[in-house]
Chains A and B, each alone.
Chain A
Amino acid sequence: GEDVEQSLFLSVREGDSSVINCTYTDSSSTYLYWYKQEPGAGLQLLTYIFSNMDMKQDQRLTVLLNKKDKHLSLRIADTQTGDSAIYFCAEVPMEYGNKLVFGAGTILRVKS
């Protein structure tokens, strides 16, 4: 079935690292995505990882993928107040190759 799970809330201090975790269900998912949503706004694609990769780094963002455990994480280094937002992970299951299946989102609060 389609069920992407994320922890609900994460609070960190400015300058610390943030780690947002996600578990997905479909081992056939070839791409896994991280989106950011600021209040009242649409979704902004942050990064994605192809399933044959274990890690992808893009400036302050590091994505780790554990296919065996179907676990995806997003690490934000040197977290800033502007990083406060809701972060969604999403998969594209092979069976549903034309749609993104999202988790419920993790609210990241950055305290200054």
Chain B
Amino acid sequence: DTGVSQNPRHKITKRGQNVTFRCDPISEHNRLYWYRQTLGQGPEFLTYFQNEAQLEKSRLLSDRFSAERPKGSFSTLEIQRTEQGDSAMYLCASSLKHAGPGGTEAFFGQGTRLTVV
């Protein structure tokens, strides 16, 4: 399977704990995106990388959230001191070029569902 891969698929954690998710994009894609999706809503943009550089962060991404893409390949998203409001599906996507004009489509992974209890 050469699609976008996310691990774990599900994570249940206690409030206050830290969690880390991993995303492996399609190998030749240099752009990687993180989105968050809550029940009944469409995905909301969190952040994106071009190669190893994090180029944009949404205001949704509080100081408790940090994302890295150290070698321009896989990425991790860490949430510190989780809160119940962090419960959501976290989606990763990758694309060969930007998703805008002249760009190419983004392909999504199956997501990591986080439940904070």
Interface contacts (Cβ under 8 Å), in number, total: 75
The residue on B at minimum CB distance from A105 is B42
Is B117 located at the chain interface by the 8 A CB criterion?
Answer: no
Contact A98 B108 (CB under 8 A): no
Contact B44 A102 (CB under 8 A): yes
A101 to B102, CA, bound (A): 17
Contact A30 B101 (CB under 8 A): yes
Q: Which B residues lie within 8 Å of A102 (CB)?
A: 42-44
Indicate which residue in A40, A97, A103 contacts B100 across the interface (CB closer than 8 Å): A97
Q: How far is the CB of B112 from chain A (nearest CB, A)?
A: 10
The residue on B at minimum CB distance from A51 is B101
Q: Which A residues lie within 8 Å of B113 (CB)?
A: 40
- Chain A to chain B contacts (Cβ below 8 Å), 20 pairs: A30-B102, A33-B105, A42-B4, A42-B111, A43-B93, A43-B108, A44-B108, A45-B106, A88-B42, A92-B99, A92-B103, A96-B100, A97-B101, A98-B48, A99-B33, A99-B48, A100-B35, A100-B106, A102-B43, A105-B40
